[in-house]
Structure 1
Amino acid sequence: MPSPSLTLSHGSDIRPPRLTNTLGEFGRAAKECSLLVSRHRQLAKLPRGDGHPVIALPGYGGDDGSMSALRYWLRRWNYQAEPWKLGRNIPAGRISQMEHMHEFQEHMLSRIQQRVDDLYELCDRQPISLIGWSLGGIYANAMAQREPEKIRRVISLGTPYGDPKGTAAWNVLKLLNRSTTPDHEQNTDQWVELNAGPRTVPTTVIYSPCDGIVSPSIARLEGPNIDNIEVESSHLAFAWNPAVMEKVAEVLARPLP
């Protein structure tokens, strides 16, 4: 019997986030990050885990440093928090067409596959949870489809599952990469198909209604084993926002279905 498929919940709505949310990203992110200090006691009281391995996958342009606060708390909650050890999540060359992005994704997925395989064997074949921020969530979602026996749970933070034109980054990245390909000639189908493929791994999608980079309309999934959780957060502070971390701790402590 084939694994149940996922669907995207946004329909045909691919509008980018509200401009006010985008312009306020840096200010809101700074405030949310600063709350980590004042919320230390509350975070320390969250449910402790069973020690299973968890890999934190950074977003576009990020590296292991961008996930350091989350890994710190994962260790405090008794998980084996692991960096991805793959450097900065950014292509070496220009991404002027979606085909280039697909090639980059496949290249990174092959490296993540090796990282998962190595850790899986190192941990006596214990399934691994994956937490992915933005583009890192795309990788986590794809790995859950490809290696369900090795992946215990997926948690994504502000991940653009739908058409990437529904992000504030679309036009910015086109400009930075000097892309001359018109939007109607950009093939985003492969991006959407990669995210909505069949799988059985329990998945929690954490998204923000005020995300200034990824529109909430493309940040949710629907289907079996899917839990969409709304948390108010800027996109830039998803892996540093204590409100998001509370949800992560809650989800990881849940018994598997």
Structure 2
Amino acid sequence: MAQPAPRQSAQAQNQKPEQKQALHDGPPPNAWLLALEFRAFWEFGALLPAWPKLARAPRGDGHGVVVFPGLSANDGSTMPLRRYLDALGYATSGWKQGFNFGPRAGVLEAARAQVTRAFADSGRKVSLIGWSLGGVYARELAKEFPHMVRGVITLGTPFGGSHRSTNAWRIYELASGRKVALESANYDLPAAPPVPTTSIYSRSDGIVAWQGSVQKPAPHNPHTENVEVIASHVGLGVNPSAWWAVADRLAQAEGNWQAFERKGTFFHGLIYPDPARAA
């Protein structure tokens, strides 16, 4: 049965083809980086010794946070991060759609309804966090509903690269039943949402070429940034340095955005490399 074409954001609909940003079209991470994805178990284990520091992260103000999982993952994969954010004082929610097998029929509609409902129930803008493919959902939803979204944080999301610069595109096509090239043509994925946006990425990501997770300067939105951490792709959602960055970004007062400050964070010189390297 034919599936309906996904809705384009107003930003993408109004953008002329020559205005779209160029995609990074380099190769995917090599076999060595792919093999290093097994360190995700160590990253998860590092949460315990890092907890005394993580517990001192800025407290939340109770606003809603929706967290979208990566490809072939479900809400169980984001539960540790959500429980951490709950402990800091946020009202977190998973995406509540089981395993993420891509934007199949009804998926995007349900995600839109969830954001709309969270905004209506609280009367406050919600923050969106997305891991890998989940970050694409978060960014595109923020483009559609900027009046409902407070900010976007992505973890290893390949919004700025060709599908061939990842090691997961074949899995995506198999799981979703959709062609990546045709799917991405419906959106201007590299364009930043019109809300504060943070891309957390790793140069040692074994799934997504890191260049595809770097947000280029956005003339329409100066409140964008890239935060580099040392992590695997699979471990980004349980990496202590990523958690600290997420907590720091969420704690900013609405309307008072400031770029991530590496100095003063624990072991900042070691776990948060110089941002100039992303240029």
Using the size of structure 2 for normalisation, the TM-score is 0.76
Q: CA deviation at 1:234?
A: 0.4
Q: CA deviation at 1:86?
A: 1.3
Query: Quick check: 1:169 aligned with 2:168?
Result: yes
Query: Quick check: 1:23 aligned with 2:35?
Result: yes
Aligned to 2:71: 60
CA contact (8 A) 1:3 1:198 kept: no
Alignment of 1:196-235 (within 5 A): 196-197=190-191, 199-222=193-216, 223=218, 224=221, 225-235=223-233
Q: CA deviation at 1:3?
A: 6.9
Q: Which protein has greater RCO, CA pairs closer than 8 Å, 6+ apart?
A: 1
Q: How many residues align?
A: 234
Letter in 1 for 2:185: Q
Q: CA deviation at 1:147?
A: 0.4
Query: Quick check: 1:115 aligned with 2:114?
Result: yes
| Matching residue within 240, 251, 254 for 1:253 | 251
**Structure 2: gaps of 5 or more residues:** 1-9, 257-279
Aligned to 2:148: 150
The Cα offsets for residues 201-245 of structure 1, whole Å up to 9 and x where unpaired, read as 110000101000000121112212211111111000111111100
Aligned to 1:73: 84
CA contact (8 A) 2:151 2:195 kept: yes
CA contact (8 A) 1:131 1:155 kept: yes
Query: Quick check: 1:13 aligned with 2:35?
Result: no
**Structure 1: gaps of 5 or more residues:** 92-102
Q: 1:188 to 1:139 in 2, by over 3 A?
A: closer
SS in 1 for 2:237: coil
For the residues of structure 2 that align with 1:198 and 1:172, how far apart are their CA atoms?
26
Aligned to 2:189: 195
SS in 2 for 1:61: coil
For the residues of structure 2 that align with 1:142 and 1:89, how far apart are their CA atoms?
16
Quote the RMSD (CA, aligned, Å): 2.6
For the residues of structure 1 that align with 2:112 and 2:11, how far apart are their CA atoms?
20
Q: 1:34 to 1:7 in 2, by over 3 A?
A: farther
For the residues of structure 1 that align with 2:43 and 2:164, how far apart are their CA atoms?
27
Q: 1:141 to 1:173 in 2, by over 3 A?
A: closer
Letter in 2 for 1:211: D
Letter in 2 for 1:63: N
CA contact (8 A) 2:127 2:151 kept: yes
SS in 2 for 1:74: helix
CA contact (8 A) 1:145 1:197 kept: no
For the residues of structure 2 that align with 1:239 and 1:22, how far apart are their CA atoms?
17
Q: 1:90 to 1:188 in 2, by over 3 A?
A: closer
CA contact (8 A) 1:164 1:188 kept: no
For the residues of structure 1 that align with 2:85 and 2:229, how far apart are their CA atoms?
19
For the residues of structure 2 that align with 1:108 and 1:194, how far apart are their CA atoms?
19
SS in 1 for 2:130: strand
Aligned to 1:32: 43
CA contact (8 A) 1:208 1:234 kept: yes
| Matching residue within 117, 125, 128 for 1:130 | 128
Q: Percent identity?
A: 34
CA contact (8 A) 1:13 1:217 kept: no
For the residues of structure 1 that align with 2:94 and 2:32, how far apart are their CA atoms?
33
Using the size of structure 1 for normalisation, the TM-score is 0.82
For the residues of structure 1 that align with 2:172 and 2:194, how far apart are their CA atoms?
33
